[in-house]
Structure 1
Amino acid sequence: MADLMKSADAAPWQTAPEPGPTAGGDRTARTSALARRRRGVLAVASAAALLSLGGLGGAMLVKSPAQAAADTRAPKASVITASVGSERLARTVVLRGDVTSGATLSITPTEVADSRALGGGTNPGGSSPVLTRKLAHVGDTVKAAEPLVEFSGRPVYVLPGRIPAYRDMLPGESGDDIAQLQGALAKLGLYHGGDKHGYFDTATKKAVVALYHRLGYPVPVTGGSAGKGGGSKAAGEPFVPSSEMAFASSVPVRVVGLPAAVGDKVSGPVVSLATGGLKLTGYLDPSYQGLVKEGMKVRITSETLGLTASAGVSSVGELVTPGDKTGSQTSGDNASAQDGNGPANGGVPYLPVQVTRIGTWDNRLDGQNVRMTITAAATTGAVLTVPEAAINAGADARTSVTVVAPDGSQHRVRVTVGVSADGKVQVTPAGTARLRAGDRVVVGQ
């Protein structure tokens, strides 16, 4: 009994071993039970941690009404500023225009003048004309009394004059065309007077002989088919055949066409000329009426050729409505396209702008549709400028800008406005107000 009591006192937690497993098996069982208890504790701790995190996340998602209102309130307005500049401003208007040759003149020889009576060539008067030489090229500028082409050994040339050469001019004849011939020969230094004004007499004949010597061709004489009849008193006298000479309203002229080939019989024009130089007509949007005025500078640009030229506005015409015969038009020419392929300006109404060229234009501009840049207003030098959005107009019609100081404070500065261009406006401080380049002005918020 005593032994039993000792055994109980020594290991109160032990129970009597059950029959079966050995002592090693007992240790294994105890280790497995301990591991299960540890796993249980870890599982409980993990669950507690997850619950804590979930609670924290839920707390973060929950907002008070005051916080929710604060979060949805519009942000505080920020001020957008721009710098005051110092520069030269120029307001420009850009439009399109067509370059043309102005008036054209074509020459078609119909007869060959005789020159044998004065010891010249052996041209049979009245023979069929044949183109024998081209002495100029398309695009050339030719002066008065310079041969353009040659037909059957005879020259074609021009003299200045507004009355067309409608007849052969013969000795003994008189008229305005004879007076025009005398004037043209005088400009060449070949006629010095001596005949009655407008009468083809001795002094005029000498001048005609000198003219053909300058041209380098035998002098045409009366007596052939070209000089028969008329007012000539005798055969074999110098005269001016209408088949060889043409009056041009302005000289020099420009060669714009040489339609016949050397060796061809002449059945039509052998040379086409442009008088008065190149002409440019611009198509101004009617909304700009009053902005473009006579005397303004024009910059002409051909994007196709890479050429530029300078001109000045000579006039701004009335509204043209292409194709509208009853509309207000400056001339019928302006209502049709310059190249004849359709209505001018694509059929859109426009104000025709005519220009006066400065210097000599490149003849390659003929027939080109070009860009015209017109300077409508400009400052003489550098001025203070601000963006258009910076200008404030009050109920009293006074204008001002709002200047932002380095410390963020704002104050208004009264200004007067001037030239505007490319989104900028010239400003001048009014009275004693101060505004300097580099100041920051409010343009929005």
Structure 2
Amino acid sequence: MVVAAVTGGIASFGGFGNLGGVGGGSGSGASGKGGELPPATATVIRTDLVRSKTVDGRLDFAQRRPVKSAVDGTVTVAASEGRTLTMGQALYELNDKPVTLLYGPVPMFREMKTGDRGSDVLQLERNLRDLGYGAGLSVDTRYDGDTEAAVKRWQKSLNREPTGRVGKGDVVFQPGQVKVVSVDAALADQVGPGEPVLTIASTRPVVRAHLDQTDGALTAAGTRVEVTLPSGKTVAGRVAGTVRHEESGSGDGAAAQEGIVVEVVLDGGSRAASGEDAKAPASVKFVSEARKGVLAVPVEAVLALRGENGGYGLQVVQGTTTRTIRVDTGMTADGRIEVGGPDVREGLKVGMAAS
């Protein structure tokens, strides 16, 4: 059996001298002397091999989504970009009337009034109670006289006409407190039903990163990543999932449309991103495969073995002699390749092509 140079990532061994047949034991192989020694050597080491991909990212906030007007009107008080809003506060004002943030999973889909029943009524009553207007109110799915009275008290506190009814353009339900990440309608703008007025997100910081379509395996929820923030600080995180391009807020245009946008949650939450510049780029390192504590050599040290059995080998250098041993190969990363076999051990000196 003769030894040939491995192509396609395993380097050429031209000029190594006469390498003979390869057997199975430590004494197998041929030896060479003097000028037949390899032009360079490396050592078998025990190390961690990590295959990774690093892409650009940007700090943002989770669950970015637009808030659209439910009615026609003129913006009389615009939203404030960067502001964090909680239950009972106005997102903006339309026709001199506040559009109030309330908490709940059910969107505002109808006008609520006496006689109505439903889960939307239940979450409205919970908000009225939590805002301090629930005296005598039974929190249930019925919009009764007590509900109407509580709504009137709330409307008076907002300097609004106490109608006792809650219209589609009066409130916006969201799961919790929100952060205004952009303003889509400025003061005096005319907006109609379905037109965006502002874009909100949760207050949880995330990093959004762009991957190629071929990187689908890296987008699974829970995939661990390493994020380098704009300040240079490195923090751990995990993939929460993918987001639609229109929600990514990346501003990357057509280039982003060709890939996948993933949302990365930072370990440490808000503390991890405190003081970071949200307008500066970050980087995200995705680990696709890792092997801990394996034996490895430079890729250029591995030989392709020709003959009946084929496979791969290493040229072991012992003083002024060499011998070739058969090895099994595994993962490659950062110019090194995992090797194994009965004759492979840590500290072994092996030949390789000249650098």
TM range (shorter): 0.5 to 0.7
Is the deviation greater in 78-87 or in 356-365? 356-365
Q: Which residue pairs with 1:232 in the alignment?
A: none
Would you say 1:404 and 2:317 are equivalent positions?
A: yes
Matches within 5 A, 1:393-432: 393-395=304-306, 396=309, 398-405=311-318, 407-428=319-340, 430-431=341-342
Greater relative contact order structure (CA < 8 Å, 6+ sep): 2
Once the two structures are superposed, what CA deviation does each residue of 1:377-397 show, in whole Å capped at 9, x if it has no partner?
Answer: 2233x4432101112343535
Q: Which residue pairs with 1:83 in the alignment?
A: 43
CA drift of 1:409 comes to 1.5
Matches within 5 A, 1:235-246: 238-246=164-172
Q: Which residue pairs with 1:256 in the alignment?
A: 181
Larger-gyration structure (1/2): 1
Matches within 5 A, 1:147-186: 147-149=90-92, 155-175=98-118, 177-182=120-125, 184=127
Would you say 1:298 and 2:225 are equivalent positions?
A: yes
* Runs of 5+ unmatched residues, structure 2: 1-33
Does the 8 Å contact 1:299/1:372 carry over to 2? yes
CA drift of 1:256 comes to 2.2
Once residues 217 and 97 of structure 2 are traced to their aligned partners in structure 1, the CA distance between those partners, rounded to angstroms, is 54
Q: What is the one-letter code of the residue matched to 1:342?
A: G
Does the 8 Å contact 2:52/2:286 carry over to 1? yes
Once residues 226 and 114 of structure 2 are traced to their aligned partners in structure 1, the CA distance between those partners, rounded to angstroms, is 51
Q: Which residue pairs with 1:327 in the alignment?
A: none
Once residues 70 and 216 of structure 2 are traced to their aligned partners in structure 1, the CA distance between those partners, rounded to angstroms, is 45
Pick aligned residue for 1:435 from 337, 345, 349:
345
Q: What is the one-letter code of the residue matched to 1:104?
A: P
Q: What is the one-letter code of the residue matched to 1:145?
A: G
Q: Which residue pairs with 1:5 in the alignment?
A: none
Would you say 1:377 and 2:294 are equivalent positions?
A: no
Does the 8 Å contact 1:81/1:442 carry over to 2? yes
CA drift of 1:93 comes to 1.5
Pick aligned residue for 1:194 from 131, 138, 142:
138
Q: Which residue pairs with 1:272 in the alignment?
A: 198
Q: Which residue pairs with 2:211 in the alignment?
A: 283
Structure 1 residues 175, 436: CA separation in 2 closer, same or farther (over 3 Å shift)? Answer: closer
* Runs of 5+ unmatched residues, structure 1: 1-74, 112-127, 228-237, 317-330
Q: What is the one-letter code of the residue matched to 2:322?
A: Q
Once residues 418 and 308 of structure 1 are traced to their aligned partners in structure 2, the CA distance between those partners, rounded to angstroms, is 29
Aligned residue-pair number: 306
Q: Say which structure is richer in helix.
A: 1
Q: Which residue pairs with 1:144 in the alignment?
A: 87
Structure 1 residues 162, 367: CA separation in 2 closer, same or farther (over 3 Å shift)? Answer: farther
Q: Percent identity?
A: 22
Once residues 154 and 86 of structure 2 are traced to their aligned partners in structure 1, the CA distance between those partners, rounded to angstroms, is 14
Does the 8 Å contact 2:108/2:172 carry over to 1? yes
Once residues 240 and 247 of structure 2 are traced to their aligned partners in structure 1, the CA distance between those partners, rounded to angstroms, is 21
Once residues 312 and 122 of structure 2 are traced to their aligned partners in structure 1, the CA distance between those partners, rounded to angstroms, is 68
Once residues 338 and 96 of structure 2 are traced to their aligned partners in structure 1, the CA distance between those partners, rounded to angstroms, is 69
Q: Which residue pairs with 1:444 in the alignment?
A: 353
Would you say 1:313 and 2:239 are equivalent positions?
A: yes
Partner SS, residue 379 of structure 1: strand
Once the two structures are superposed, what CA deviation does each residue of 1:62-114 show, in whole Å capped at 9, x if it has no partner?
Answer: xxxxxxxxxxxxx9555121122333222111234577763111458878xxx
Q: Which residue pairs with 1:93 in the alignment?
A: 53
Q: Say which structure is richer in strand.
A: 2
Structure 1 residues 166, 220: CA separation in 2 closer, same or farther (over 3 Å shift)? Answer: farther
Structure 1 residues 273, 340: CA separation in 2 closer, same or farther (over 3 Å shift)? Answer: closer
Partner SS, residue 181 of structure 1: helix
Once residues 341 and 376 of structure 1 are traced to their aligned partners in structure 2, the CA distance between those partners, rounded to angstroms, is 25
CA drift of 1:254 comes to 1.5
Partner SS, residue 121 of structure 2: helix
Partner SS, residue 240 of structure 1: coil
CA drift of 1:139 comes to 2.0
Once residues 94 and 444 of structure 1 are traced to their aligned partners in structure 2, the CA distance between those partners, rounded to angstroms, is 29
Pick aligned residue for 1:357 from 254, 262, 265:
265
Does the 8 Å contact 2:184/2:199 carry over to 1? no
Is the deviation greater in 264-273 or in 172-181? 264-273
Once the two structures are superposed, what CA deviation does each residue of 1:202-246 show, in whole Å capped at 9, x if it has no partner?
Answer: 443465468679xxx347454xxxx4xxxxxxxxxx443544421
Q: CA RMSD in A?
A: 4.6
Give the TM-score, by structure 1 length: 0.53
Structure 1 residues 81, 279: CA separation in 2 closer, same or farther (over 3 Å shift)? Answer: closer
